[in-house]
Structure 1
Amino acid sequence: MSVVLINPNSTVAMTRTMLAAARAAAPGQTIEGWTSHGAPPAIQGPEDGAAAEGPLLDLVRKAVDQDADAIIIGCFDDTALMAAQRLAPCPVIGIGQAAFHACAMRGWRFGVVTTLPVSVPIIEGNIAAYGLSGACARVRASDVPVLDLEHYPERAAATITAEAQIAVREDGIDAIVLGCAGMTRITETLRSTLPVRIVDPIEAAITCIPWLVGQG
């Protein structure tokens, strides 16, 4: 079974980070990581998402032509997910979609800690579209730009951890969903620090793929 993990932004380092996390979560699985070179370097808000859509869908078509068994859209905004699903005969899953449903299937009330405030309405809209608003306590922004997760990981981790600690104290949650693909770099740090479950969206997506492919 072959899985193509598509990074909808043009930052190759982030593709490598996601690919390493996916392979660690699904050892033995054949996973390729593709970068959308015609897209913005980070997807932060609706304008970046719109600019990323065309190059992303080109890569979806390429994955279909190569007979991929499954495709993962590696942006927490689930950029162009519905359009990609219409293009592909194989399962196409967004990492945000996977993380939210993983919480719902466990009966966890969850909070989201994401990057910038501009992403909050997009994430809230996706959660509502998936019918999971009742399971989500709050979507919080940490004010960490996406690329800081690659360039300044220690500083980013400290800021995100502080916001997650507030969520634990104030939001009545069982789990925190990490609201950016680049946060996979700090998953284990947060798991060792916080008393709630930490849901890594890359892990959530790759681990559900075998079941999805089996239903095809």
Structure 2
Amino acid sequence: MRIRVVNPNTTASMTAAIGRAAAAVVGTGTVVEAVQPTMGPASIESHYEEALAVPGLLEQVAVGERDGVDAIVVACFGDPGIDAARELASGPVIGIAEGAYRTAALLGRRFGVVTTLRRTTGRARELAERYGCSSLLTEVRACEVPVLRLDDPTSGARDLVVAECRQVIANGADAVVLGCAGMADFCAAVSDEIGAPVVDGVSAATLLAESLVRLGLTTGKHGEYAAPPPKPFTGMLAPFALPDTRVTMGAGA
């Protein structure tokens, strides 16, 4: 089995960390391919950056389809481009926010989220509602560390994440979701330090994707997630036009 884990930003060190987190949890015989776009922002911390990350993400989904991967994981906590990726991919597509939320829902009555910047907390709440988890969400806390400083030992990011996670548990949650793919390396250490379950979305989404493939299940293709209709694209998006794969029956058929 091959799972393509797409980091929608273009920072290679984060892609490598995401790949390590995903590879650490899969079963024997499952290969993790951690990749990043050839274009797009270095990190995703705004609606603007998220929108501009989607073409590069879809580029990598298309490459995965061409290469015959079995599943796609979108490794950004905003789950950018998920619906479009599901239209393109023949296998299951899981975003790390959805993977983390659905996993945390199994660990207790309620859970909280610790993310990077305060400006991203609205999307975390919005996705909880989309995935049917808003009634389980106690709070979304921000440690106010930019994504690209999460792996900087001088930033104090890990200590800030631990402090916010500890507060989530103190405020009544049973588990904590880490709201950024760049926090994947922290997960086990943070859980040990606060003495409560901490969910990394990269690991959770990768295992969910692997499970769906083993069950022989994928996205339903008879409605909203059918392949997009072929049509011309212009300008710099011209390469994203899809071929017409519909079968035309002959008059004598």
Deviation (angstroms), 1:107: 4.2
Query: Structure 2: how far apart are the matches of 1:33 and 1:13?
Result: 11
| Aligned twin of 2:100 | 99
Query: Structure 1: how far apart are the matches of 2:103 and 2:33?
Result: 23
Contact 1:110 1:135 in 2 (8 A): yes
* Cα-to-partner distance string for 1:12-57 (whole Å, 9 max, x where unaligned): 0000001011111125321111111311000002111011011111
Contact 1:64 1:89 in 2 (8 A): yes
- Residue pairs, 1:47-126, within 5 angstroms: 47-126=48-127
Could you say which structure has the larger radius of gyration? 2
Query: Structure 2: how far apart are the matches of 1:186 and 1:201?
Result: 12
1:211 equivalent to 2:195? Answer no
Query: Structure 2: how far apart are the matches of 1:27 and 1:44?
Result: 32
* Cα-to-partner distance string for 1:128-160 (whole Å, 9 max, x where unaligned): 111110111111111011011122377110111
Query: Structure 2: how far apart are the matches of 1:108 and 1:43?
Result: 30
- Give the TM-score normalised by structure 1: 0.95
| Aligned twin of 2:5 | 5
| Aligned twin of 1:198 | 198
| Aligned twin of 2:157 | 156
Bigger helix share:
1
Contact 1:144 1:160 in 2 (8 A): no
Query: Structure 1: how far apart are the matches of 2:198 and 2:106?
Result: 15
Contact 1:91 1:212 in 2 (8 A): yes
Deviates more, 1:38-47 or 1:206-215: 206-215
Query: Structure 1: how far apart are the matches of 2:59 and 2:216?
Result: 25
Which stretches of structure 1, 4 residues or longer, exceed 6 Å deviation after superposition? Answer: none
1:187 equivalent to 2:194? Answer no
1:19 equivalent to 2:19? Answer yes
Deviates more, 1:87-96 or 1:105-114: 105-114
Deviates more, 1:104-113 or 1:190-199: 104-113
Query: Structure 2: how far apart are the matches of 1:122 and 1:153?
Result: 28
Deviation (angstroms), 1:161: 1.0
1:146 equivalent to 2:147? Answer yes
| Aligned twin of 1:174 | 174
- Give the TM-score normalised by structure 2: 0.81
Query: Structure 1: how far apart are the matches of 2:185 and 2:192?
Result: 13
Give the secondary structure class of the aligned counterpart of 2:165: helix
* Cα-to-partner distance string for 1:66-105 (whole Å, 9 max, x where unaligned): 1110000011111111111111111000011001001223
Query: Structure 1: how far apart are the matches of 2:27 and 2:210?
Result: 13
Query: Structure 1: how far apart are the matches of 2:98 and 2:44?
Result: 17
Give the secondary structure class of the aligned counterpart of 1:183: helix
Question: Which letter maps to 2:36?
Answer: T
Query: Structure 2: how far apart are the matches of 1:209 and 1:160?
Result: 27
Identity %: 34
The number of residue pairs the alignment matches comes to 215
Query: Structure 2: how far apart are the matches of 1:38 and 1:153?
Result: 29
Deviation (angstroms), 1:210: 2.7
CA pair 26-108 structure 1, distance change in 2 beyond 3 A: farther
